[in-house]
Amino acid sequence: MKIIISPAKKLDTSIIVQNSKMNTSFLDESTKLIQVLKGKSISELRDLMGLSDNLAQLNWHRFQDWDISNSNTYIAIELFNGAVYEGINAKDYNKSDNNFAQNNLRILSGLYGLIKPNDLILPYRLEMGTKLKTIKGNNLYRFWQDKLHKNIVEELNNEVLINLASNEYSKVLKLSMIKSKVITPVFKDYKNGKLKVVSFYAKRARGEMVNFIIKNKITNYEELKLFKNNGYSFSNENNGSILFIR
């Protein structure tokens, strides 16, 4: 079973891996994207990515300093620090948990493509939906084309894919073209008498689902229906989606 999640905008840069180099599967592609991004001014980055002036300046410096031979990097699962990753709580993992996560969890990334939890990367901000023009086209979906789809299909080898990524990220994998079974957990809350996805709670729940899978070493998706964190409980399964409500 393989699990996919989105990255986080919020980063924790407090833990540096010194005397190390980046280690991901698509560094050549990342380098090409960085070459394009290095040519952008701070104001161009601000407008392209919808950033504040401060964030635009911060990420301009990150792109300018990005170098494949950089000797100080970050462990991906520790660098990302949003609601999903608070739910994952990787800092609590033992060696067995880390090994299971490294084998089964994949983080989708606009810059790095597909990241394994313990891959070494540099801080960045580049959402998959960014309309960055490259020689491949007008956005990152055109840039990545079929590369990430082919990679995940090879890794799956007919295993089940658990989709805990946002639509913005998962669409780059062209899930409808994957022959393996794809399961998408959906988390909904009652609000004003109606069931709806509340973004913050859903993100946290997706992270806790990842934690649930890793801690229990789950390999059969049917066992996901036992998930009961924070008041969520399984409701029904329909056409590849398994619904949890509270």
The pLDDT tens digits along the chain (246 residues) read 999 999 999 999 999 998 888 999 999 999 999 999 999 999 999 999 999 999 999 999 999 999 988 889 999 999 999 999 999 999 999 999 999 999 999 999 999 999 999 999 999 999 999 999 999 999 999 999 999 999 999 999 889 999 999 999 999 999 999 999 999 999 999 988 899 999 999 999 999 999 999 999 999 999 999 999 989 999 999 999 999 999
- Label residue 53 exposed, middle or buried (CB < 10 Å: 0-12, 13-18, 19+): exposed
Amino acid code (one letter) for 182? V
Nearest to 227 by CA among 194, 197, 187, 190: 187
Give me the number of domains the chain comprises: 1
pTM: predicted TM-score of the whole model, two decimal places: 0.95
Q: Are 111 and 91 in contact (CB under 8 A)?
A: no
Range of the domain at 12: 2-245
| 110-168 residue pLDDT tens | 999 999 999 999 999 999 999 999 999 999 999 999 999 999 999 998 899 999 999 99
Helix (H, G, I), strand (E, B) or coil at 72: strand
| 16-29 residue pLDDT tens | 998 888 999 999 99
Nearest to 202 by CA among 162, 230, 171, 241: 230
